[in-house]
């Protein structure tokens, strides 16, 4: 792991990332030391950092660090964390803070390709996401809702949990975004009040028209196809959710080769 470019596996215990979750992060795929969709990931990171008033790191330095950490691994996950850095105690942001930049690489999790081809079983989580427009869309370090939602099940045959907001609208998976196919159109929940605007959605918007709107669970269950998507898993079509089964995923299949070709 690199912390501000220095190889170490610890961070300052006074870092505001720990104290308050005052930071943002990204996970992405690397192959042979080369991140995929780098420009998209960097722009998502920079956008989120700006939303919290954090300066973005230098793109070239960050890219070099991701390459260095993932070098020698055929396929790896890179995780980038950007925090406000260390400062004196208290919520007020000190003038003199210097952001901390962590880059780590992990072994590829080896999601079975059948999940992309045959679909997954998902569940509807009990936890409801709170509505906080000021933080909506940002992949920040305040992720207790996701931790609690993911702890609702231990059955390993359930691969993802669908999260609704406190008004009952669908938002996303615990670790992925949600896409519906309806009458040939791609729909995704609006992320203006909660949820994470994942880089997968930015990729998808570059290859297909995707419309975002307020969506209900009933609309999910009535959709022709339902997908969870993220930058590591790609597209997981849903084969079963809340008693509803889907057996064919032609729209997902059409996009699989585009996903495989991404660089």
Tokens matching residue 186:
């791609």
Q: Closest approach of Cβ 17 to a copy of itself, in Å?
A: 5
**178 by DSSP, 3-state: which?**
strand
Cα separation, 160 vs 106, whole angstroms: 21
The residues that bridge with 218 in the sheet, in sequence order, are: none
Binding residues with a copy of itself: total (CB under 8 A) = 56
- Out of 7, 96, 114, 134, point to the residue binding a copy of itself (CB under 8 A): 134
Q: Closest approach of Cβ 26 to a copy of itself, in Å?
A: 12
Smallest Cα–Cα separation from 66: which of 45, 92, 96?
Answer: 45
Q: What residues from 201 to 260 belong to the interface with a copy of itself (CB under 8 A)?
A: none
Q: Phi, psi at residue 235, to the nearest 5°?
A: -105, 120
Helices 59-70/38-51 angle, 10° precision:
120
Q: Closest approach of Cβ 114 to a copy of itself, in Å?
A: 20
Q: Which is nearer to a copy of itself, 152 or 224 (by Cβ)?
A: 152
Q: What residues from 143 to 202 belong to the interface with a copy of itself (CB under 8 A)?
A: 143-151, 166, 174-175, 194
Cα separation, 205 vs 189, whole angstroms: 13
Binding site for a copy of itself (CB under 8 A): 1, 3, 8-22, 25, 27, 52-53, 77, 79, 81, 83-84, 89-93, 102, 104, 106, 127, 130-132, 134-135, 140-151, 166, 174-175, 194
């Amino acid at each position: 792991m690199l912390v501000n470019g220095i190889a170490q596996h610890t961070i300052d215990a006074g870092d505001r990332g720990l104290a308050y979750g005052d930071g943002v992060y990204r996970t992405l795929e690397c192959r042979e030391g080369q991140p995929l969709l780098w420009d998209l990931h960097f722009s998502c990171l920079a956008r989120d950092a700006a939303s919290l008033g954090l300066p973005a790191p230098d793109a070239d330095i960050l890219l070099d660090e991701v390459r260095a950490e993932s070098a020698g691994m055929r396929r790896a996950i890179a995780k980038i964390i950007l925090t406000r850095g260390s400062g004196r105690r208290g919520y007020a942001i000190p003038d003199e803070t210097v952001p901390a930049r962590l880059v780590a690489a992990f072994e590829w999790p080896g999601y079975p390709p059948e999940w992309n081809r045959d679909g997954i079983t998902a569940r509807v989580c009990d936890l409801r996401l709170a509505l906080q427009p000021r933080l909506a869309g940002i992949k920040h370090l305040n992720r207790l809702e996701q931790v609690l939602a993911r702890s609702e099940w231990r059955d390993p045959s359930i691969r993802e949990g669908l999260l609704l907001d406190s008004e009952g609208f669908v938002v996303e998976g615990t670790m992925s975004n949600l896409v519906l196919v309806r009458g040939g159109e791609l729909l995704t929940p609006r992320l203006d009040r909660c949820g994470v605007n994942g880089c997968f959605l930015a990729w998808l918007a570059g290859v297909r028209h995707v419309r975002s709107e307020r969506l209900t669970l009933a609309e999910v269950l009535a959709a022709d196809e339902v997908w969870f998507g993220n930058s590591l898993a790609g597209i997981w079509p849903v084969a079963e959710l809340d008693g509803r089964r889907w057996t064919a995923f032609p729209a997902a299949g059409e996009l699989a080769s585009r996903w495989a070709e991404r660089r």
